[in-house]
Amino acid sequence: MQLRYNYRAYPDEPQRRALASAFGCARVVWNDCLRDRKQAHAAGLPYVKSAELSRLRITLAKRTEERAWLAEVSAVVLQQSLRDLDTAYKNFFDSIKAKRQGRRVGPPRYKSKKDTRQSIRLNTNAFRLQSDGTVYVAEVGNLKVTWSRRLPAPPTSLTVTKDSSGRYFLSFVVDTEPDILPRLEADTGLDLGLSAFAVLSDGSTIDNPRFLRRAEKKLKRLQRELSRKTRGSKNRARARIKVARQHAKVTDRRRDWHHKASTQIIRDNQAVYVEDLAVSGLGRTRLAKSVHDAGWSAFVTMLQYKAVKHSRTFAKVARAFPSSQVCSACGFRDGPKPLHVRQWTCGKCHAVHDRDHNAARNVLFEGRRIVAAGRAETPNACGAPVRRAHVPAQRVEAGSHRKGQTTQAKTPGL
């Protein structure tokens, strides 16, 4: 399986200028190639092949006065930008043909220099881990890196990212073997919520940390200061960075908490079952801020890839499954209940249920049924292989990036 490892990088001023140039060139190649394909489609012409775009928008474009500056960056950056566009188109076509699981993917869109996240991707021809602990990036130089942990294997690709707060990160993708944990008998179902982040089928509760809510007071003050600055001024730019850094702190804390909670659940259970929630729909309701603050999707994604990594069973229960309507004691369906009903009594067996605990138990039972039917994505509870899914590297790194640890003055993990 593939895992992603993120590390904080500290480029100097010339390196920051070189990276800014690389970000811009990659964006221009993406937009030029996307424009050619859109214009061909509008004119009823055939789909423009990648080889033709590479010749026109990279090789020949470098010889023109308008695009001569493309030659100042590594050719790998430009070619990878075109390959990323091809991947975006493939995902779009697979989505509309129902060949791709998950929510429907839209067509590729133009990129802007004002996007809050800028990045370039490199293969092993354009970067190298140095013996002094730095990372060489073609046409940029040796970048200083805080190695918060060792790489488990030689990396196969590198993504250099600049976030909205001005921080730089190096994200390595490595191919690793599963880290199989000792086998357990326990399994659990999770009911995700807002009052409590999750209720497990054994009755235990994971409190909701509400990182955004706790930071709202400071964010409001910083955003008020930003609104009072003159547009286009340096003071406004500095104020915007302060707001972005505060949001980045909230995101980092939430991600770190998600990793710790998901790792604990995977380590304590042989099988984990969770309901497939319609997060995008809930994000358009009055609960939107609380839903996004909880970060259910990121948490479930972590559970999923960690289950594969540690050879655990993971299954999603369909969102149409009536987990809150069925009595977990006798199976009687008691009908829908409004959100304010937190406790109810079964009309058949008269068992008294806590709403969330009952839902978690129903998710557990339904998850076991899915595994027994052979539709889980990991080995089942009996150890038999059940359609092992290939897990590509996640956009979220495999663990939290921790600042302040000593940089190892040697090639990490190799």
* Catalytic residue IDs: 191, 275, 356
Neighbours of 125 (CB within 10 A): 11
Comparing CA positions, the residue from 148, 143, 149, 142 lying closest to residue 162 is 143
Asked if residue 353 lies in contact with residue 191, where contact means CB atoms within 8 angstroms, the answer is no
CB 180 within 8 A of CB 311: yes
Which of 333, 261, 269, 271 shows the shortest CA–CA distance to 302? 261
Using CB atoms within 10 A of its CB, is residue 7 exposed (0-12), middle (13-18) or buried (19+)? buried
Rounded to whole angstroms, how far apart are CA atoms 389 and 311? 12
